[in-house]
Amino acid sequence: MPAPLVVPARYCGPPHSANGGWVSGHAARLVRTTAGLPAVSVRLVSPPPLDRPMRVRPADGAVEVLDDEHLVLRAGPAAAPAGDVPDPVRYDEAVAAGASFPGLRDHPFPTCFVCGTARDPADALALRPGPVAGGRRFAAAWVPEEPAAELVWAALDCPGAWALGVGGRPMVLGTMTARVHALPDAGAEHVVMAWARGVQGRKHLSGTALHAADGRLLARAEATWIAVDPAQVRPASAAP
């Protein structure tokens, strides 16, 4: 049996559960991809707990993660995200966009490991996705401390929610499908791009991409976000 999966409290989303991108990236490391199915798709079923071992079990080519007997997520190989990826902005433009990060005014989940405004930047990613291209896309500057797949998935997570307007419309991550072509270089400048892909009732669809400073595409993702009642996240201290 695979070793239990534990999410340290540092990687929280909501104060008592994991950041969806980080835990999805950790689960993705357990999935065997193929040439025909080079990406990994993760469906989050219930909030992943922090600092508690979760059971991992194989499931027909996929893996399932359980908290006691409750299914937390299912991760399996998937087709690569399709469609065009918008051109990235320069790193300095992404830095400048951070001044217009909507979360500076209204953040439903301020303790987010990825984009929370209540987090110490020395202990979190501290991404500040802001609008570019007339607001049609969002960009965030990122200098990774280490080349970890979990951090790539995390960086591809929250900017998508901000491109969908999570500040005035709280959402939680439902499904995330990502393909990582290459890990980022530690200490180097990178840019995360995010854009909206549409709406299906309570489901809001986003696309995200991670680029090196020279414009190379390192990873991309598509996500489905579920709109939630704002009363369920106030007072807020969590993460998209």
Specify the number of domains making up the chain: 2
Residue 2 located in a structural domain: no
Which CATH number fits the domain that encloses residue 222? 3.10.129.10
Whether residue 111 sits in one domain with residue 55 = no
pLDDT band of 230, cuts 50, 70, 90: low
Residue 4 located in a structural domain: no
Residue 151 located in a structural domain: yes
Whether residue 142 sits in one domain with residue 62 = no
In this prediction, residues 78-94 reach a mean pLDDT of 95
Residue 55 located in a structural domain: yes
> How much is the pTM?
0.92
Look up the domain containing 198 and give its range.
91-233
Edge-to-edge strand list for the sheet holding 217-227: 55-59, 62-67, 70-78, 39-44, 171-180, 217-227, 203-212, 190-200, 137-142, 130-132
pLDDT by residue (tens digit) across 44-81? 999 999 999 999 999 998 999 999 999 999 999 999 99
Residue 172 located in a structural domain: yes
**The pLDDT of residue 134:** 86
pLDDT band of 219, cuts 50, 70, 90: very high
> Final residue of a domain: which of 78, 100, 134?
78
> Final residue of a domain: which of 55, 78, 101?
78
pLDDT by residue (tens digit) across 187-214? 999 999 999 999 888 889 999 999 999 9
> Final residue of a domain: which of 51, 78, 105?
78
